[in-house]
Structure 1
Amino acid sequence: MFSFVAIFGSVELGIIYAIMALGVYLSFRVLDFPDLTVDGSFVTGAAVAATMITMGYSPWLSTILAIAAGFIAGCATGLLHTKGKINALLSGILMMIALYSINLRIMGLTSDTSVGRPNIPLLNSETLFTKFGALWEKTGIDEGLNGFFSRMHADTLPSTWGIVFFMLVVVLLIKFAADWFLKTEVGLALRATGDNQKMIRSFSANTDTLIILGLGISNGLVALSGALVAQYAKFADIGMGIGMIIIGLASVIIGEAIFGTKSIFRTTFAVIGGAIIYRIVVSLALRVQFLDTGDMKLITAFIVILALIMPKLIEKQKEKKRKAKRHAERVSALNVSAEREVQ
Structure 2
Amino acid sequence: MDFYLTALLQGLCFSAIALGIYISMKIFNIPDITTDGSYTLGGAVTAVMLSHHLSPYLILPTVIIAGGLAGALTGLIHTRLKINALLAGILVMTALYSVNLTIMGRSNVPLIGTASLFSLLNIVADPNQNTFILLSVFVVIITLLIGYLLKTDFGIAMRATGNSESMIRALGVNTDRMKITGLALANALTALSGYLIVQFQGFADISMGIGIVIVGLGSVIIAETLINWFRITNVWISLALVLAGAVIFQLVLAFTLAIGVDANLLKLVTAAFVLLIVSLPRLSFSKAS
Alignment TM class, shorter chain as reference = over 0.9
Deviates more, 1:167-176 or 1:67-76: 167-176
Deviation at 1:259, TM superposition (A): 5.1
Deviation at 1:257, TM superposition (A): 1.7
Which residue of structure 1 lines up, in the alignment, with residue 271 of structure 2?
A: 301
Which residue of structure 2 lines up, in the alignment, with residue 154 of structure 1?
A: none
Instruction: Please report the RMSD computed on the Cα atoms of aligned residues, expressed in angstroms.
Output: 1.3
Which of 88, 93, 102 is equivalent to 2:85? 88
Which residue of structure 1 lines up, in the alignment, with residue 158 of structure 2?
A: 190
Which residue of structure 2 lines up, in the alignment, with residue 156 of structure 1?
A: none
Which of 74, 99, 102 is equivalent to 1:77? 74
Deviation at 1:219, TM superposition (A): 0.2
CA distances 1:105-134 after superposition (whole Å, capped 9, x unpaired): 1112xxxxxxxx1111101111111112xx
TM-score for the superposition, normalised by structure 1 = 0.81
Secondary structure of the equivalent of 1:201? helix
- Does 2:97 correspond to 1:126? no
Which residue of structure 2 lines up, in the alignment, with residue 164 of structure 1?
A: 132
Which of 143, 147, 156 is equivalent to 1:175? 143
Which residue of structure 1 lines up, in the alignment, with residue 206 of structure 2?
A: 238
Which residue of structure 2 lines up, in the alignment, with residue 341 of structure 1?
A: none
Deviation at 1:255, TM superposition (A): 2.1
> Hey, what's the Cα distance between the residues in 2 that align with 1:171 and 1:106?
27
AA in 2 matched with 1:296: L
- Does 2:254 correspond to 1:278? no
Deviation at 1:315, TM superposition (A): 2.9
Matches within 5 A, 1:30-49: 30-49=27-46
AA in 2 matched with 1:262: T
Secondary structure of the equivalent of 2:30? coil
Runs (4+) off by over 4 Å: none
Which residue of structure 1 lines up, in the alignment, with residue 51 of structure 2?
A: 54
**Structure 2 gap ranges (5+):** none
- Does 2:222 correspond to 1:250? no
> Hey, what's the Cα distance between the residues in 2 that align with 1:86 and 1:241?
24
Deviation at 1:288, TM superposition (A): 3.3
Larger Rg: 1
Which residue of structure 2 lines up, in the alignment, with residue 16 of structure 1?
A: 13
Which residue of structure 2 lines up, in the alignment, with residue 151 of structure 1?
A: none
Secondary structure of the equivalent of 2:233? coil
Which residue of structure 2 lines up, in the alignment, with residue 265 of structure 1?
A: 236
> Hey, what's the Cα distance between the residues in 2 that align with 1:286 and 1:296?
8
AA in 2 matched with 1:263: N
> Hey, what's the Cα distance between the residues in 2 that align with 1:44 and 1:83?
24
Secondary structure of the equivalent of 2:286? helix
Between the two proteins, the alignment pairs up a number of residues equal to 286
AA in 1 matched with 2:281: P
Matched-pair identity in %: 41
Secondary structure of the equivalent of 2:109? strand
Higher relative contact order (CA 8 A, sep 6+): 2
TM-score for the superposition, normalised by structure 2 = 0.96
> Hey, what's the Cα distance between the residues in 2 that align with 1:190 and 1:303?
31
Which of 278, 281, 284 is equivalent to 1:314? 284
Secondary structure of the equivalent of 2:31? coil
- Does 2:123 correspond to 1:136? yes
> Hey, what's the Cα distance between the residues in 1 that align with 2:259 and 2:226?
24
